[in-house]
A = this chain, B = another copy of it.
Amino acid sequence: MASTLGRLFRVQTWGESHGGAVGVVVDGCPPRLELSETEIQSDLNRRRPGQSRLTTPRQEADRAEILSGVFEGRTLGTPILILVRNQDARPEAYEELKDVYRPSHADYTYEAKYGIRNWQGGGRASARETVGRVAAGAIARKVLRTHGVGEVIAHVSQVHTIESKLDPVSVSLEQVEAGPTRCPDPEAAREIEHRIDEVRRQGDSLGGIVTCVAHGVPPGLGEPVFDKLEADLARGLLSLPACKGFEIGSGFAGTRMTGSSHNDPFYTEDGTVRTRTNRSGGVQGGISNGEPIVVRAAFKPTATIHLEQETVTTQGEATRLSASGRHDPCVLPRAVPMVEAMVALVLCDHLLRQRALA
């Protein structure tokens, strides 16, 4: 519902990019989980702009405060409120955007929906809203770990036309974090770095793909019909800013195969039912089958560019816009922790649901 995700592990984000603060309420977290601000902070740091010269120079300390739901270092089972103050607001930088709709931003649609918008930044449509998601995702990952689920590891698998050659299932967190691109293939990473530098100089921007693998997910998560695991994952990823596409397993490429080559043959390994291939992406009929869950999210090129663009004013008059100021030419490296958070949140909710049936 609007700003809420999940049925048992419920996440409600709040906050505009340029209001007083952003954050999240996590309601339904199991009790007695050890949890500290430090753990959340480390995921927030990965999301934060200004980590490397590749990302937006916006400087935000993004210091997480836990204001409820934790007592003496452990969760109480009650709502956890996490708050991050907005420090680098600089509304004057947005003054020029007060009366103009930025192409492919949400300025016009928010105005059309609400008849009002916070023009001092992207409001709820800003990537800054994801602070709350990443904080909640850190908690979800801890819950998953506590219940024996493996790691959720995302990486940049494509920027513009440059693709990683690695098998996503083989990628480790260390490989992802080895460089500023979060592309684990060193050769592709170098090219991507070069390409991003190039478009930054041009004032242009790039899109790409984040691939995410959830390891060690037990069979049985997900529910038939509308709450299929892939449906909830798709919703979660498409809810991220700039995401325009989702695939699980073979995805769009699988449409070019025949059934006999696409079906995943079953076999038994140490008493466990396994599949020889994983074109299903770890989910069959909406329910996890124990294989790694592999999803891909397509991100369009960042809408904010410095090149001059055709647009209209809020009064509907034609105008030209040349945005000045900060500019993040490629959101992909920062999208990695966002994708991980969304996948973890969906899995955590379904894990708790499944426990209710057990």
A250 contact from B71, B244, B262, Cβ within 8 A: B244
Interface status of A352 (Cβ within 8 A of chain B): yes
Can you offer 20 A-B residue contacts whose CB atoms are under 8 A? A1-B10, A2-B225, A3-B224, A14-B67, A16-B69, A19-B70, A71-B117, A77-B357, A109-B283, A112-B220, A112-B287, A129-B224, A129-B225, A161-B256, A207-B255, A207-B256, A234-B237, A238-B248, A245-B252, A246-B247
Q: Is the CB of A15 within 8 A of B67?
A: yes
* CA gap between A110 and B71 in the complex, in Å: 14
Q: A77-B357, A245-B251 are in contact. Are A7 and B10 (CB under 8 A)?
A: no
Interface status of A164 (Cβ within 8 A of chain B): no
A27 contact from B1, B66, B104, Cβ within 8 A: B1
Q: Which residue of B lies closest to A118 (CB)?
A: B71
Q: Which of A118, A254, A266, A288 has most chain B Cβ within 10 Å?
A: A266
A259 contact from B13, B237, B260, B301, Cβ within 8 A: B301
* CA gap between A312 and B275 in the complex, in Å: 10
Q: Is the CB of A224 within 8 A of B78?
A: yes
Of the candidate stretches A28-36, A50-58, A172-180, the one touching chain B is A28-36
Interface status of A302 (Cβ within 8 A of chain B): yes
Note all chain B residues with C-beta closer than 8 A to A239. Answer: 225-228, 231, 286
How many copies of this chain? 4
Query: Considering the complex, which residues of chain A in the window 187-222 have a beta carbon less than 8 Å from any beta carbon of chain B?
Result: 199, 204-209, 219-222
Interface status of A93 (Cβ within 8 A of chain B): no
Q: Is the CB of A77 within 8 A of B245?
A: no
Query: Considering the complex, which residues of chain A in the window 224-276 have a beta carbon less than 8 Å from any beta carbon of chain B?
Result: 224-228, 230-239, 241, 243-252, 254-260, 262-268, 271, 273, 275-276
Note all chain B residues with C-beta closer than 8 A to A234. Answer: 231, 234-235, 237-238, 246
* CA gap between A67 and B14 in the complex, in Å: 9
Q: Which residue of B lies closest to A280 (CB)?
A: B104
Note all chain B residues with C-beta closer than 8 A to A12. Answer: 4, 12, 25, 27, 79
Q: Which residue of B lies closest to A317 (CB)?
A: B268
Note all chain B residues with C-beta closer than 8 A to A267. Answer: 310, 312, 318
Q: Is the CB of B263 within 8 A of A114?
A: no
Q: Which residue of B lies closest to A257 (CB)?
A: B301
* CA gap between A202 and B27 in the complex, in Å: 40
* CA gap between A125 and B309 in the complex, in Å: 48
Q: Is the CB of A254 within 8 A of B244?
A: yes
Note all chain B residues with C-beta closer than 8 A to A264. Answer: 103-104
Query: Considering the complex, which residues of chain A in the window 273-299 have a beta carbon less than 8 Å from any beta carbon of chain B?
Result: 273, 275-276, 279-281, 283-290, 298-299
Q: Is the CB of B310 within 8 A of A265?
A: yes
Note all chain B residues with C-beta closer than 8 A to A233. Answer: 238
Q: Mark A65-87, 1 if CB is under 8 A from B, else 0.
A: 11111110011111111010000
Instruction: Tell me, rounded to whole Å, the shortest Cβ–Cβ distance linking A224 to chain B.
Output: 4
Q: Which residue of B lies closest to A312 (CB)?
A: B266
Q: Is the CB of B305 within 8 A of A260?
A: yes
Note all chain B residues with C-beta closer than 8 A to A106. Answer: 224, 284-287
Query: Considering the complex, which residues of chain A in the window 106-146 have a beta carbon less than 8 Å from any beta carbon of chain B?
Result: 106, 108-110, 112-118, 120, 122-125, 129
Q: A76-B116, A106-B284, A300-B279 are in contact. Are A209 and B71 (CB under 8 A)?
A: no
